Amino acid sequence: MNKSPVRRFLKQPGSYRILAGGVIVFLLALATLSGSAWTKYGPDDLDLDNLLSPPSVKWLKGLLTTEEGMRIQARNQAGGRGGENHARPVSSDDEDLDFLGVQDSAAAGTATGMEGSGTGNGRVPETGESDNRSEAGKAKPHVLGTDKNGRDMLALLIAGARNCFLPGLVTCAFALGLGVPLGLFAGYYGGRVRKIVGTFNSTILSLPRLVLILVVICALEPNVYYTMGVLGATLIPRVSELIATRVRILSNMGFILAAKEAALSDFTILYRHLFWYQNRAVFFIQFSLIMAESILVETTLSYLQFGTKPPEVSWGNIIEGSQMSFFSGFYWITFFPAVAIILAILGFFYLGDGLNARLAYREGR
């Protein structure tokens, strides 16, 4: 039958998962690389006229905005556009905002470590080229709303993507960089090497991952890259056992015996024949799954206040910083980061799982 390559791709198992995961991962990588260069607001711009303004997309607003949120936004606009009291769009005795710690906008400006000067007229002077940013009176819309400091949610989400993606790469480097060689050695040499690797693995496996990370945080400074390294170390057993099982089966096969007879060096046999020709699919699958895992752990740690620290933005610490806002009508501050976290993890999971299904299908043939 004469089938197009697209059709053939889609017919294999797992192709839809690969597509869905791939799109999400691509978007995430794009957000990491581009940063907030193309958005109307940067993550550091404080739009003090629009504290806690809800998303400006019409259908989203109709779908999701609670009555309380609408009420507050109406009052916000009335206060902000009123003329004289630019500095305080919301008066400080407003009971809806008190729990968020917004006493006045100057304090909010300095608390986040942004440039606090010039908050008197209600608008933070933009640094550098800012002609596409908000002009007086003609504010650009905040597509996903703003948080309690007037920061644009979309810009925050994009800035957070970077702090999810890059630590994930550190985890992968540790887990795969150490796990793959250990697995190869254990599977190929067997005997004592396998025993040593096994002991190492079972020692790591008998500590709860998050608790081990807490121990390291307790001993050293809470730094995302340390903790991601530790996370990578706790994932070594999984990778190395997977690789070792496959290599153990492979190393009794004809082509490896032939390679030995041909007096190829162990290095060539291990890395070219056993790893690259036979196991690189496993490598990429594990890469994807480990990225998912590390995003999960990074956001969790940021939520526990041990990951990315507040001036830096991470999806986890956005949720942590606005804990109770969900219950008082400001759903968008916690809702969008939560959706972003779930989508990012789901994307990597789907990608890994789809690739895995394809690998199983191909090897089964």
Alpha-carbon dihedral 125, 131, 132, 137, rounded to 10 degrees: 60
By CB under 8 A, residue 215 contacts another protein:
yes
Q: Which region, judged by CB under 8 A, interacts with another protein, from 29-37, 138-146, 179-187, 348-356?
A: 348-356
Q: Name which of 39 and 317 has its Cβ closer to another protein.
A: 317
Strand intervals (E) in 209-290: none
Query: Which span (100-108, 208-216, 248-256, 262-270) binds another protein, by CB under 8 A?
Result: 208-216
Does 319 engage in binding with another protein (CB under 8 A)?
A: yes
Instruction: Say which residue the tokens 């995302």 belong to.
Output: 224
Instruction: Supply the minimum distance, in Å, between the C-beta of residue 229 and another protein.
Output: 12
Say whether residue 214 binds another protein (CB under 8 A): yes
70 touches another protein (CB under 8 A): no
Whole-angstrom CA distances from 153 to 43, 52, 210, 222, 224 are 8, 10, 29, 26, 23
CB count, 10 Å around CB of 70?
A: 13
> At a CB cut-off of 8 Å and minimum separation 6, what does 223 contact?
none
Residue 218 as a binder of another protein (CB under 8 A): the answer is yes
Report which DSSP code applies to 326.
Answer: G
For position 211 contacting another protein by CB under 8 A, the verdict is yes
In 3-state terms the chain splits into helix, strand, coil percentages (rounded to 5) of: 70, 0, 30
316 contributes a contact to another protein by CB under 8 A = yes
Using CA atoms, how far residue 58 sits from 143, 279, 330, in Å, is 9, 49, 16
What residues pair up with 146 in beta bridges, in sequence order? 152
Using the minimum distance from each CB to another protein, give the nearer residue, 208 or 311. 208
Interaction between residue 174 and another protein (CB under 8 A): no
Of 82, 342, 360, 361, the residue at the interface with another protein (CB under 8 A) is: 342
Q: Which of residues 88-117 bind another protein (CB under 8 A)?
A: none
The footprint of another protein (CB under 8 A) covers 199, 202-203, 205-212, 214-220, 292, 296, 299-300, 303-306, 316, 319, 326-327, 334, 338, 341-342, 345-346, 349-350, 353
